[in-house]
Amino acid sequence: MSHGVEVSVVLPAYNEEDTLADTVAITLETLRDFLPTGSFEVIVAEDGCDDRTPEIADELAAEHAAVRHVHADERLGRGGALERAFRAAEGETLVYFDTDLATDMRHLEELVESVRSGEYDVATGSRWLPGSEADRPAKRGVPSLGYNRLVRSFLRSDVRDHQCGFKAFDRDALFDILEDVGDEHWFWDTEVLVRAQRAGYRVREFPVDWTPKGDSKVDLVRDVLGMGSQIVRTWWQLSVSPRITRRVSLAAGTGLVVLAVLLMTVYLDPAEVLARMSEADPALIAASGLVYLLSWPLRGLRYQDILAAIGYQERWGFLTGAVFISQTGNLVFPARAGDAVRAYVLKARRRIPYTSGFASLAIERVFDLLTITLLAGAVLLGLVLTGSVGELQTALLGGGIGGPEAASGQTAITVAAGVGLAAILAVAAIVASARSERNYARAGVGRLSSDAYADYVAGKLEQFAGDVQTVASDGVTFGRVGLASLLIWSLDVVTAIVVLLAFDVQLSVPALLAVGFFAVSVGNLAKVLPLSPGGIGLYEGAFTLLVVALTPVGAVTALSAAIVDHAVKNAVTVVGGLASMAWLNVSLTTAVERSRDVDADPQD
């Protein structure tokens, strides 16, 4: 690193052919007013431009010894371009401002010296502090004010204006902060300031005179999805994630289940429930376990077809074991940690990349959601055609097992319907896209935005949709996976029906089939949200409410059957998971720990 250059000024430039030369000239002139010759440099951070900006930057670098050009072949985003240029800079004080020179350049000396003097680690101009002069039209001022209030509230920042493009940093402080900065686009400015405050660095904000240059475009994808989601991400990383350990999350999930059980005891006597469970026919309970066991070879075959479609030929037995292990992980650990376990098993035992492991799992989940939604929808249609849907509505709104349970049942139905509808729409869109050569993901996002962040969003959508489309575009594979899914969930329903028969439930065959399909389908949709390990408590609640709403079966019997049904399924899963772990020599705890490192190197 040169000992002569003390200050490095970075000018982020994207398609600035009309203004770049004047901006560089004004910048050099301003710097010469308060810094010795040779103690500063100006770096044009050209960000994949498609106009004459690169050529102009080269000409300026050849003309001025203090000017350098850092070129990017493709768009890096505002934050990405700045970070790349800062790493190439030589100064200990790193500065950047927008090339439109909206901030009055008479503030540049104050900005630079705030950090160069050693008094502060970070300095930023502000258009919202008293004393600032900012000519802000409403279409800029109102969104900016709202955005900054959100950041101050959610991220506990003391800064009033996070996005002012006029900042300076101590080199060591900035590079320390950048280790944790996740955004490479417009949120980069905000995240750097927030993380600097959290890290204890000295941050100075001072008023500036600011005049907008050109027109500003409110970008739906960038401003709403982009900036909003990044506020949530940073809030989660800084305020929530550090407090969520495995012990805390498991305790929280268990606490929800315990609370639900305690509330239920207000309306149901636990002793009656236990007594009713003890009366169940043990032979039929055992038979239900055998029925459920039959679904597992089908799960392995289905997963074999999915992996084969995306290019990986694996043995059925190994894949059945991997599914057993991952589902056991979902029972033992909260937040569906078992899903990541399966990707780890595929990587560790068959060297299938994590990205492919997660893609195959996403495909499986789409088919699961679609299948159980169609099952529930078919039964609901039958209720409508037979005129029985009114009984369901009446029970959920006020009848059945009590007011609070009725409200909960209505909520469960609403959640399940929402998840199911989303699954149907998603699969329909994916299948339609698979039948067309047109890139619907990028075309759809492109209608909303042309920003670099839109490209990032479109890329993520393409990555997911592309893997699912691979299966959807193959008619034979799609049919095989769909049929396997239907058989898997039908066996899940038959298991519940056998359990109901074990409690000597007096229902006609059509009524038994209808309530079995509907209760199991909605119960599984309700537990999509990972509020407890294995959805324990959520499944039983939805199952009980629907059985009571649709049949003359009492609440005690319905709850007893729901508990036994879920317990049988979980017991088969755990036994199969333990056997598979022993066979494949996989430690569930180790798998969970290793799978947490997936994000560090997702391509391995």
Q: What 3 state SS string does 384-405 have?
A: HHCCCHHHHHHHHHCCCCCHHH
Is the sign of the CA dihedral 567, 573, 576, 577 positive or negative?
negative
Q: How far apart are CA 66 and CA 11, in angstroms?
A: 13
Q: Residue 310 CB: number of other CB atoms within 10 A?
A: 17
Q: How far apart are CA 533 and CA 539, in angstroms?
A: 11
pLDDT surpasses 90 at 107: yes
Listed residue (397, 408, 416, 396) closest to 541, CA to CA: 408
pLDDT for the residue numbered 50: 83
CA dihedral of 201, 207, 212, 213, whole degrees rounded to 10: -70
CB 404 within 8 A of CB 263: yes
pLDDT surpasses 60 at 47: yes
Chain mean position to CA 497:
36
Q: What is the pTM of this model?
A: 0.53
pLDDT tens column, 510-531: 778 877 887 887 777 766 555 4
Compare 399 and 130 and report the one with higher pLDDT.
Answer: 130
pLDDT surpasses 80 at 373: no
DSSP structure class, residue 545 = H
Q: Each residue of 558-576: b (16+ CB within 10 Å) or e?
A: bbbbbbbbbbbbbebbbeb
pLDDT tens column, 292-340: 999 999 999 999 999 998 888 999 999 999 999 888 877 766 555 667 7
Query: pLDDT tier at 378 (50, 70, 90 boundaries)?
Result: confident
Q: How far apart are CA 491 and CA 513, in angstroms?
A: 12
Residue 203, phi then psi, degrees to nearest 5: -115, 125
Q: How far apart are CA 440 and CA 271, in angstroms?
A: 57
- Residue labelled with tokens 């095989």: 480
pLDDT surpasses 80 at 97: yes
Q: Domain locations in the chain?
A: 7-218, 246-435+473-600
* Domain 7-218 indexed as CATH 3.90.550.10: yes
pLDDT for the residue numbered 233: 80
pLDDT for the residue numbered 218: 46
pLDDT surpasses 60 at 415: no
pLDDT surpasses 70 at 561: yes
- Token digits of residue 96: 């950047």
Residue 11, phi then psi, degrees to nearest 5: -110, 100
pLDDT surpasses 60 at 346: yes
pLDDT surpasses 70 at 434: no
The mean pLDDT of 56-76, rounded to a whole number, is 89
CB 358 within 8 A of CB 346: no
pLDDT surpasses 60 at 35: yes
pLDDT for the residue numbered 40: 96
pLDDT surpasses 50 at 584: yes
Query: pLDDT tier at 220 (50, 70, 90 boundaries)?
Result: very low
DSSP structure class, residue 103 = B
Q: Residue 249 CB: number of other CB atoms within 10 A?
A: 18
Q: How high is the mean pLDDT of the chain?
A: 78
Query: pLDDT tier at 405 (50, 70, 90 boundaries)?
Result: very low
pLDDT for the residue numbered 66: 94
Distances (CA, A) of 353 to 146, 186, 238, 277, 307: 42, 31, 30, 46, 12
Query: pLDDT tier at 79 (50, 70, 90 boundaries)?
Result: confident
Q: How far apart are CA 592 and CA 579, in angstroms?
A: 18
Marked catalytic residue, from 121, 189, 339, 368: 189
189 is catalytic: yes
